[in-house]
Amino acid sequence: MTERERFLETLLFGKPDKIPFDPGWPRESTLAAWHKQGLPEWKSFDENYEVLLEILEIEPEPTNPKISLDVSFQMMPAFKEEVLEHKDGHFIVRDWMGAITEISDEYDYTYIRSAKDFVTRKWHKFPVENEKDWEEMKKKYNPDTEGRFPEDFEERCKKLEKRDYILSININGLFWQLREWCGFENLCILMVEKPDFVQEMVNFWTEFVSKVMERILERVQMDSVWISEDMAYKGYSMISPKMVRKFLLPTWKRWASEVKEGSCPIFDMDSDGYIGELIPIWIEAGINCCDPMEVAAGNDIVKYREIYGNKMAYQGGIDKRAIAKGGKVMEKEVLRVVHPLLKDGGFIPGCDHGVPSDISWQNYVEYSRLLAKLTGWL
């Protein structure tokens, strides 16, 4: 099977020749630690995976040269990013999304909007505080803005018809995007005090995403559309299921219908935290895959599979804390998750978030070796 065929067969509860091998990806601090523990210093983020395959004696499976759609759902033009203040070991920055944000000068200030590492940030002000701000923000999201689609978009789509690799697009979900505009606390207050204003923003973002996505889905068959929401704490959803149904569910249903009509088989939801309250709503919406399934937040995908069967596929789900401990603890955790789910299908196992630096290179290799055996690569 090709990489693409295997991915789809797995998540659609088919019969793949083996399960995609995706142990999880390190952040910069993790790589820095691994370079001291045996990973060659000169290896880049992506080349780390090649080293891992060499160590495990897995032959890389070549694919055709990969072509990116290079379509942007971001604001255009972005705000000018600038450092407003630097003192007491901190940068205060107006970032490209228009928020005023603080970060330790231990990091380059561009880490504010980057997932390169596990970094704590503080938000002071958001670009949309009232209806006047909103009128200005809307101007930055024109589906027809020059540069939103590459000049050779049509040509790229034609070439992608014969690909053997996975093609996905990532879009900000409603809760994620409105939080970027208004801030988390402000958004929650607005949902109660100014629900009509929130609904206006919801409607706008729904239409914008649909219009941009339509041009893609009409021209090339995607393998997955991936929504970023990040809408859960350790033990609960960030807003109530009632609020989810009121503000978010109609849009998820619409997008799911559009994705399905475009012959894209995977509609994937990404959210950290405890998502037990949200999964049944996602299933109702037409979402059929979710990740990363953080165990420390109380997610148990073995239990979820018993409840929801093949209505939902999963990616991730292996406790990063057990991987860090290594040995029998790691082995027990991997087997706990992988054995019952692999026989059912609809599961690509891996670390339940970005791989942190307390997972040593040696433990990562041993964990990956066990995972490769279980998924048919060794």
pLDDT digits (tens, 9 = 90+) for 34-86: 999 988 876 665 667 888 999 999 998 888 899 999 999 999 999 999 999 99
- Supply the pLDDT for residue 58: 95
Residues 197 and 268 in one domain: yes
> Are 67 and 112 contained in the same domain?
no
Q: What is the mean pLDDT of the chain?
A: 95
Tokens of 330: 């790691």
As a whole number of angstroms, the distance between CA 224 and CA 143 comes to 21
Please report whether residue 37 resides in a domain. Answer: yes
> For residue 207, is it within any domain?
yes
Q: Answer whether residue 132 is part of any domain.
A: no
42 with 104, same domain: the answer is no
pLDDT for 102-134, tens place per residue? 999 998 888 888 878 888 889 999 999 999 999
Q: What is the mean pLDDT of residues 124-148?
A: 97
131 domain-assigned: no
Residue 57 covered by a domain: yes
Pair (289, 327) in one structural domain: yes
Same domain for 297 and 261, yes or no, is yes
Residues 332 and 353 in one domain: yes
pLDDT for 67 equals 95
Residues 94, 211 share a domain: no
Mean pLDDT, to the nearest integer, of 216-221? 97
**In the prediction, which pLDDT does 222 show?**
97
User: Quick one: average pLDDT of 230-256?
Assistant: 96
Choose one of 67, 99, 126: the last residue of a domain: 126
User: Among residues 126, 153, 186, which one ends one of the domains?
Assistant: 126
| Residue 250 located in a structural domain | yes
- Considering the domain architecture, whether residues 104 and 229 belong to the same structural domain is answered as no
Q: Say yes or no: 253 and 357 in one domain.
A: yes
Q: Write out the residue range of the structural domain in which residue 35 sits.
A: 3-75+138-374
Q: Are residues 117 and 40 part of one domain?
A: no
Total domains, the chain: 2
Residues 143-161: what's their mean pLDDT? 96
Quick: pLDDT tens for 272-316.
Answer: 999 999 999 999 999 999 999 999 999 999 999 999 999 999 999
98 torsion bin: left (phi>0), alpha (psi -120 to 50), beta (else): left
Residue 84 and residue 71 in one domain: no
Check residue 44 and give its pLDDT. 62
Give the domain CATH number at 347. Answer: 3.20.20.210
Domain identity same for 185 and 269: yes
Rounded to two decimals, what is the model's pTM? 0.95
